[in-house]
Amino acid sequence: MTAYNAPLADMRFVLNELVDLDRLAALTGCGIDRGGLDHVLDEAGRFAAEVLAPLNGTGDAEGARLANGVVMTPNGFRKAYEAFVEGGWNGLSCPVELGGSALPRPVAMAVSEMWNAANMAWSLCPLLTQSGIGLLERHGNADQRRRYLRNLVHGTWTATMCLTEPQAGSDVGAVTTVAARRDGVYRLRGRKIFITYGDHDLAANVVHLVLARIEGATPGPRGLSLFIVPKVLVGTNGSLGAHNDLRVTRLERKLGIHGSPTCEMVFGEGEGAIAELVGNAGDGLPYMFTMMNNARLAVGLQGVAIAERAYQQARSYALERVQGRTPEGHPARLADHADVRRTLLIMRAEIEAIRGLAYVVAEQADLARLAEDQDERARALAVVDLLTPVVKAHATDVGFEIASRNLQIHGGAGYIEATGAAQHLRDIRIASIYEGTNGIQAQDLIRRKLAGQGGKTAQSFLALLAQSDTDLATVPELASLRQRLAEGVDALGGATRWMLATAARDMDSALAGASDYLRLFGLVAGGWVMATAAMRARYRLAAETAAPQDRGVYQAKLITARIYADRILPQAAALLGPATSGAVLLRAIGDEQL
């Protein structure tokens, strides 16, 4: 498997040109400057390349193991996690008072991208812990925050999300896990499946955040509550006590992410697992969505990360592999063939678009939490809500497509496990399934983010996209980008109006085009990112404010933006028809004819 080198140049471009990092740093109070940012990124890149990436292939081959009730991660994972905790990486964007560094979330996103690109299976453990921290910060009571958060922020303990049951996949309302009040405490019984890092040998405790129904509560989603169920009980002073009544009964055999233990968990085989209620009884699902939405952005970032790793591997192979001859009769590398070079540049342009979009949404997430003006907070939160399903679904779809193109560039060698190309394809396949399948993300975009808001936030976002036309009009060399983006914005606007009108009278017809609509949205949002990036690059080059070592980055950005316009954006207008086709033909074929 080829080495991984963090794409620091493009990460710095996004953080310096597309995100207002200075303002975010002032809001978080971290005091980071450009030199400090460069140091964080350099050190994270070194850790990813030298510590995590070498474990990716070996972890895939070895896998996690369950022996005598004990879950063991692959060789090297524990030592890497200890170094990760010792380096303070787990609390990068967490509050200083909890032991974190309070860095802006886009910086944490860049660093997390490196972890996931280097070793996605290992990175799933801190990913879920970060989401658990966000949930407890917002919904835990003072005592729970005092006893749990500092250890979670430090990484001494890790967190999980326990929703799925054998009979209750995406339909969490069918959850049957029950919590009963006995002798002043809740005792919980039930079985959960697909629990990522449900147990492991990396940390001293695992804090499970579990959806369950209090005994006697109403059926359905409104009857669910959220509980903290630690693997090892936590005393009033935060010290560890006895092992709780829970255990892992099975590790799943999976297509990919073999190093990550995916557990079946049984709670309460004896007296019942001791559980702490979070917040109000019956509000478990809204609380859990805090964790799920954070995790969905993180999963979208996995799409960016694996796309980058696969692109680097494809580029390296194409620049070295001699195959065929040039038109002049000389030996040719794969990269000398026009079709391969086209594929590589499309991969690069797509990655730059989804990376920029993910980091911009992370910026809005910080503003939704920290902006001084409440109206600005509300606007930022609405943008995060709107774009979270787009980032999660579109970026993971693109990540899988790019991993597949990596195999194609490798040819037959890519189909052989020894190259490592197949692992990237296998690993990223889960990202479009977990944390809500991409079809569910598309339905959420229509049901809640469009119809639920009356289209208000979507219309505001469309107006922002349309503003790019005015800006691009002043740059003749970006005429194709202006034209293609305008066509995409028109298609997205037309599809949005159709969705709003149709959902009001026939939701089934609207949902029939939901996935096509989300893809259309993602392509156009990516076009807006690339247009903004191109304008910033051109400004820096024209004003001669780009550092000499960065001029090549800015010049390349102008080219990749035009490639996105010519090769990728035209797909957007073509999706208008499928997105607005309705459900009539889907129902014309009966079940017996499927």
108: domain CATH number? 1.10.540.10
> What pLDDT does 1 receive?
66
Give residue 489's domain range.
442-584
Q: Are residues 247 and 229 in the same domain?
A: yes
Q: Are residues 197 and 131 in the same domain?
A: no
pTM: 0.96
Q: Are residues 117 and 246 in the same domain?
A: no
Q: How many CB atoms lie within 10 A of CB 453?
A: 15
The tokens describing 591, both together, are: 């079940």
Is there a domain that residue 47 lies in?
yes
Residue 88 backbone zone (phi > 0: left; psi -120 to 50: alpha; other: beta)? left
Grade residue 2 by pLDDT with cuts at 50, 70 and 90: confident
- Over the chain, what is the mean pLDDT? 95
> What pLDDT does 309 receive?
98
Is there a domain that residue 373 lies in?
no
Q: Is 70 helix (H, G, I), strand (E, B) or coil?
A: strand
What residues contact residue 373 under an 8 Å CB cut-off, 6+ apart? Answer: none
Q: Which is catalytic among the residues 17, 276, 352, 435?
A: 435
Report DSSP letters for 221-277, one per residue. GGGEEEEEEESEEE-TTS-EEEEPSEEEEEE---SS-TTS-EEEEEE-SSS-EEEEE
> What pLDDT does 171 receive?
75
**Domain closes at, from 154, 176, 196:** 154
Q: Are residues 113 and 67 in the same domain?
A: yes
pLDDT mean over 422-449: 96
Q: Are residues 116 and 181 in the same domain?
A: no
- Number of structural domains in the chain: 3
CA-closest candidate to residue 88, choices 107, 101, 106, 103: 101
Q: Are residues 465 and 504 in the same domain?
A: yes
Q: Are residues 114 and 203 in the same domain?
A: no
Query: Which residue is associated with the tokens 């289209």?
Result: 455
Is there a domain that residue 249 lies in?
yes
**How far apart, in whole angstroms, are the C-alpha atoms of residue 235 and residue 214?**
23
Is there a domain that residue 405 lies in?
no
Is there a domain that residue 196 lies in?
yes
**How far apart, in whole angstroms, are the C-alpha atoms of residue 267 and residue 199?**
13
Q: What is the CATH number of the domain that holds 247?
A: 2.40.110.20
> What pLDDT does 349 receive?
98
Q: Are residues 173 and 137 in the same domain?
A: no
Q: Are residues 131 and 24 in the same domain?
A: yes
pLDDT mean over 262-277: 97
Three-class secondary structure assignment of 325-362: ECCCCCEEEHHHCHHHHHHHHHHHHHHHHHHHHHHHHH
Cα angle 366, 370, 373; round to 5: 120
**Domain closes at, from 101, 123, 154:** 154
The tokens describing 545, both together, are: 């404010």
Residue range 129-140, pLDDT digits in tens: 999 999 999 999
What residues contact residue 197 under an 8 Å CB cut-off, 6+ apart? Answer: 124, 125, 128, 158, 160, 206, 260, 261, 263
Is there a domain that residue 385 lies in?
no
**Domain closes at, from 282, 312, 336:** 282
Q: Are residues 185 and 97 in the same domain?
A: no
> What pLDDT does 173 receive?
75
Residue range 513-563, pLDDT digits in tens: 999 999 999 999 999 999 999 999 999 998 888 788 889 999 999 999 999
Is there a domain that residue 457 lies in?
yes
The tokens describing 482, both together, are: 């202006």
Identify whether 350 is a catalytic site residue. Answer: no
Is there a domain that residue 349 lies in?
no
> What pLDDT does 72 receive?
98
Residue range 337-354, pLDDT digits in tens: 999 999 999 999 999 999
> What pLDDT does 363 receive?
97
Q: Are residues 100 and 178 in the same domain?
A: no
Q: Which of 73-77, 104-108, 173-177, 368-372 has the lowest mean pLDDT?
A: 173-177
Q: Are residues 117 and 254 in the same domain?
A: no
CA-closest candidate to residue 460, choices 444, 449, 446: 449
Residue range 465-480, pLDDT digits in tens: 988 888 898 888 899 9
